[in-house]
Amino acid sequence: MEKLRLGVVGVGSVVREIYQYLYYRSDYSHLLDVVAVADPNDQFRNWFCDTFNIPAERRFKDYGEMFAKVELDAAQINTPDHIHAAPAIAALEAGLDVLVPKPTAATIKDAHAMLQAAKRTGKLLGIDFHKREDPRIKEAEARYQSGRYGRFQSGVWFMLDKLLVADPNHVPMFFATPNFAERNTPISFLTVHMCDALIKIVDLRPVEVRSVGFSHKLPSLSPIAVKGFDLCDTEIIFANGAIAHIITGWHVPNTAHALTVQSSRMICSEAVFDLGIDTPGLHELHPDGIFEINPLFRNFEKDGTVTGYGISSPGRIYQKFIANHNGHLTDEVRQQMMNPTTLGFYTSLVLQGAEESLAQGKPIADGVTRGVPIDLKELLRRELGPEALSEYGY
């Protein structure tokens, strides 16, 4: 097999911003033949299919109908986070390998069901946490796990988006729906990125989470105000006693030098190391303003090819799908692909815990909610039963 016959479920903003380039303008496009699309939104479905010449008989509102009527090898599930599970499981049960953008799911019940479906069917499940392919994260992981830095003790991670990301009044609108920031939190959209990167580096299990949410800027927007959090500070305690704060938000002024201002400082028993990941190396002074360009994430090369770790992360997963179809995927790689850390289970556990922390929290000042501590082992026991504790290393 040289190409995967790919069915795409959902062609909204994440496809417009990232995946269209993976499918048609990347070094991985030769591996993929997008043969069918399912999306209940007529506008999104027709935009994508008209642009890329998907015939009418392979355009579907319902993904189940697509799986039943079109011969496919793999599916990519680009639905909102809270509805990843149903189409992913349906695709796995239809005999397809499946790729899902981060996070795996919004709840551990859904994440667990997806992992179990992959085990039951013998198909591959890949999660596109693209920061895993950032060369700075990969280098930090290699150095930490070599023992160079000693024991992780404390860390702070920042990921702060410009206001335009969450502002429904901004023209053009950054995301597809005006209630995006009301239906999502910085935790579900941003904290999961940094949490996954941190867990990838230190390879530790999270045991407790607590979040504080700030709601000052979004409710003041006009003419459309947003009922949602501007900023969340999520505290995570790990099994070795280490503690991390992941601070995420989407109200940095639109004059910021980068769309996302992000960094980390990690303090360990033998060293301190910093990740200044919002300064990727191309600093532009231009009549339109001062910009930090991130070609590491997405680079539009002069021949029209789009490269960068935002493309190589899902691309490398598809390479493994091809290798598996051709009988070249080793047992070691398969096992590594299918372990809970790689499949983002612990990040979903932190996500659900942090959201529950805020939901059970109390106001401590105007626009400030202090969440309660959530014991993640007890959350796991409550949601999946005591037998899941040993399965997931608790």
Mean pLDDT, residues 144-166? 97
**CATH 3.30.70.1380 matches 135-296+360-391:** no
Pairing of strands 282-286, 289-293: antiparallel
Residue 369, pLDDT above cutoff 80: yes
> Side-chain half-sphere of 101: how many Cα atoms within 13 Å?
24
Closest residue by Cα to residue 126 from 377, 291, 342: 342
CATH fold for the domain made of 4-131+303-339: Rossmann fold (3.40.50)
- CA 90 – CA 67 distance, rounded (Å): 8
pLDDT of residue 176: 59
Residues with Cβ within 8 Å of residue 150, at least 6 apart in sequence: 268, 269, 270, 271
Contact 311, 320 (CB under 8 A): no
Of 23-32, 251-260, 279-288, the one with minimum mean pLDDT is 279-288
Contact 225, 218 (CB under 8 A): yes
Average pLDDT, the chain: 95
CATH 3.30.360.10 residue ranges of the chain are 135-296+360-391
The pTM for the full model equals: 0.95
| pLDDT tens by residue, 225-283 | 999 999 999 999 999 999 999 999 999 999 998 899 999 999 999 999 999 898 887 88
pLDDT of residue 336: 95
pLDDT of residue 184: 86
CATH 3.40.50.720 residue ranges of the chain are 4-131+303-339
Residue 373 is classified by DSSP as P
- CA 105 – CA 40 distance, rounded (Å): 20
- CA 92 – CA 97 distance, rounded (Å): 6
- CA 343 – CA 9 distance, rounded (Å): 19
Residue 177, pLDDT above cutoff 80: no
Distance, C-alpha 88 to centroid of its chain? 15
Mean pLDDT, residues 291-313? 93
- In degrees rounded to 5, what are phi and psi of residue 387? -65, -20
Distance, C-alpha 212 to centroid of its chain? 21
